[in-house]
Amino acid sequence: MRLAYDVEAVRAAEAALAAGLPAGTLMDRAAAGIAAACARLLGSTYGTRVVLLVGSGDNGGDALHAGARLGRRGARVDALCLGSRTHQEGAAALLAAGGRLHGGTERADLLDDADLVVDGIVGIGGSGGLRPDAARVVARAEASAALLVAVDVPSGVDASTGEATGEVVHADVTLTPGTLKPGLLVDPGSSCAGLVEVVDIGLGPHLAALGAPDVEALEADDVAALLPAPGPESDKYQRGVVGVVAGSDEYPGAAVLCAGAAVRSGAGMVRYVGPDHATYRVLARWPEAVAGEGRVQARVIGPGIPELDAVLDQVARPEPVVLDATAATAYARAGGPALLTPHAGELVRVLAAAGVEATREQVEARRLHWAREAARATGCVVLLKGSTTVVAAPDGRVRVNPTGTPWLATAGSGDVLAGVAGALLAGGLPPFDAGSVAAWLHGLAGRLAADGASTSASAVLDALPAALRAVLR
């Protein structure tokens, strides 16, 4: 499990650790780790050209001390000082190692021939976009052939939320001391971070003492441990029967995709309820499905159903339920535990039904905040689909999904996800785990199906067994 802590928790852990260490130890540890990672990225440090973009705070100090270490390894290191002041100890260390300090933007031309640029402008305490002078320097760095490495978070990205307002750094690699920060896992911040690596400075025990992390991200071992597994004496009912209420005369394909995803995600049986035309399509594609009502352990309601009134009687039943698309707004009628699976536009309607106002643009900009708010307001687990899938529980727990590909933004993809989640609910997982595991498997199946090119929801569905096999190995 990858764990991310918000800024307040990180500062508290740093203070607790620093209290038992000589002054400056934490910065020295961070700088050593950053320098070592930069040296690995460069391959051979001697003779390389490194430019530091340095702000006023400790983030700039980390960059300067790391630059000093690279200088002692034979790199030419120049620092462009973009803040109102410069970290004194860091500046002295860089000068002692043969580095050079330059005021403001006066030597921005150094970026044109740099091999590596280190972003130390603003750290975890920053908010808002870059100032105009810093933005111009960053734009020049991004236009160069240099590898761009951010210290802690890309400057301009909110470390706790991933919000990015105004101009920000778009890094190739982010080296974050101590622990992951939520803004590195959630778009738009995660899209600015590139490859993220944690630099160990000894914070682990102090973070654990503070309690639960702000955000979690499942890894393959976590998914394997959570997946329902049949035993030697399991029958189809013990494996879980999922009822799929999906599709319409207008969108029969949604029923085929959703039912098929449930079939291929481990359900013991799939019962399908829908209009005659969609029923014919489902049974023609999935002869193992059963048409009509019957005993189920969970339901999926909503994919491909434009009219909410058509399914309200299904929502009010006692089994756990996945409410997708239009049906997500019917959360208040759910007779059992509910997992809502809206995209940003649908989440706006869910929030409105709960008496909370938001726009789609606001949801996209602050995905963590609005997923949490929706879970709190509805009392349901909310799986917010999009560039970063966020799963939020009413008790405040949040997981973000690390798998996936932009090629999953295709018609029917959400119908497949809903079917996977329904099978996992029927298999006995609670909604928070079912949503998290479903998103992970769906994302991996999307990667396998795309394989670097465009894909379709049908191809993602076909890749689900391979995704499951990859995890269970």
Q: Is 58 annotated as a binding residue?
A: yes
At residue 435's C-alpha, the angle toward residues 154 and 276, to 5°, is 130
What pLDDT score was predicted for residue 307? 87
What pLDDT score was predicted for residue 310? 79
Q: Residue 208's CB: how many other CB atoms inside 10 A?
A: 12
Are 151 and 34 a contacting pair, CB within 8 Å? yes
What pLDDT score was predicted for residue 5? 96
What pLDDT score was predicted for residue 71? 98
Q: Which of 291, 242, 293 is nearest to 263 (CA)?
A: 242
Q: Which of 327, 452, 467 is nearest to 401 (CA)?
A: 467
Q: Is 125 annotated as a binding residue?
A: yes
What pLDDT score was predicted for residue 78? 98
Q: SS3 for 4?
A: strand
- Encoding tokens for residue 270? 């799939």
Each residue's pLDDT tens digit, 41-94: 999 999 999 999 999 999 999 999 999 999 999 999 999 999 989 999 999 999
What pLDDT score was predicted for residue 161? 92
Q: Is 254 annotated as a binding residue?
A: yes
Residue 182: DSSP 8-state? G
Q: What is the mean pLDDT of residues 312-316?
A: 90
- Helices 252-264, 457-472: axis angle to 10 degrees equals 10
Q: Is 166 annotated as a binding residue?
A: no
* Burial of 240 from C-beta contacts in 10 A (0-12 / 13-18 / 19+): buried
The number of CA neighbours under 13 Å toward the Cβ of 134 is 24
Beta bridge partners of 364: none
Q: Kindly state the percentage of the chain with pLDDT values over 70.
A: 100
Task: Evaluate if residue 233 carries a pLDDT over 80.
Answer: no
Q: Is 191 annotated as a binding residue?
A: no
Q: Is 124 annotated as a binding residue?
A: yes
Strands 49-54 and 241-245: unpaired
What pLDDT score was predicted for residue 457? 96
Are 278 and 259 a contacting pair, CB within 8 Å? no
126 torsion bin: left (phi>0), alpha (psi -120 to 50), beta (else): beta
Are 255 and 282 a contacting pair, CB within 8 Å? yes
Q: Is 443 annotated as a binding residue?
A: no
Whole-angstrom Cα Rg for the chain:
25
What pLDDT score was predicted for residue 197? 97
- Encoding tokens for residue 459? 């191809």
Q: Is 112 annotated as a binding residue?
A: no
CATH topology of domain 220-472: UDP-N-acetylmuramoyl-L-alanine:D-glutamate ligase (3.40.1190)
Helices (H) and strands (E) in the chain, counts: 18, 18
Q: How far is CA 119 from CA 112, 198, 259, 416, in A?
A: 15, 16, 48, 40
Contacts of 211 (CB under 8 A, 6+ apart): none
CATH topology of domain 2-216: Rossmann fold (3.40.50)
Q: Is 422 annotated as a binding residue?
A: no
Listed in order, the ranges of the chain carrying CATH 3.40.1190.20 are 220-472
What pLDDT score was predicted for residue 126? 79
**How does residue 364 score in pLDDT terms, banded at 50, 70 and 90?**
very high
Q: What is the mean pLDDT of residues 197-214?
A: 94
Length of the chain equals 473
What pLDDT score was predicted for residue 295? 94
Task: Evaluate if residue 174 carries a pLDDT over 90.
Answer: yes
Listed in order, the ranges of the chain carrying CATH 3.40.50.10260 are 2-216
CA distance 446 to 450: 6
What pLDDT score was predicted for residue 42? 97
Q: Is 123 annotated as a binding residue?
A: yes
Q: Is 243 annotated as a binding residue?
A: no
> Buried b / exposed e across 426-450, counting CB within 10 Å, b at 16+?
bbebebbbbbbbbbbbbbbbbbbbb
Q: Is 335 annotated as a binding residue?
A: no
Residue appearing with tokens 């209290």: 19
Each residue's pLDDT tens digit, 139-172: 999 999 999 999 999 999 999 999 998 999 999 9
The predicted model scores a pTM of: 0.93
* Mean pLDDT of the chain, nearest integer: 95
Q: What is the mean pLDDT of residues 218-227?
A: 97
What pLDDT score was predicted for residue 234? 72
Continuous H helices in 265-395: 276-285, 312-315, 344-353, 360-365, 367-378
Q: Is 155 annotated as a binding residue?
A: yes
Q: Is 59 annotated as a binding residue?
A: yes
Q: Which of 74, 182, 171, 73 is nearest to 122 (CA)?
A: 171
Q: Is 200 annotated as a binding residue?
A: no
H or E stretch covering 216:
strand 215-217
Each residue's pLDDT tens digit, 434-466: 999 999 999 999 999 998 889 999 999 999 999
**How does residue 104 score in pLDDT terms, banded at 50, 70 and 90?**
confident
**How does residue 473 score in pLDDT terms, banded at 50, 70 and 90?**
confident
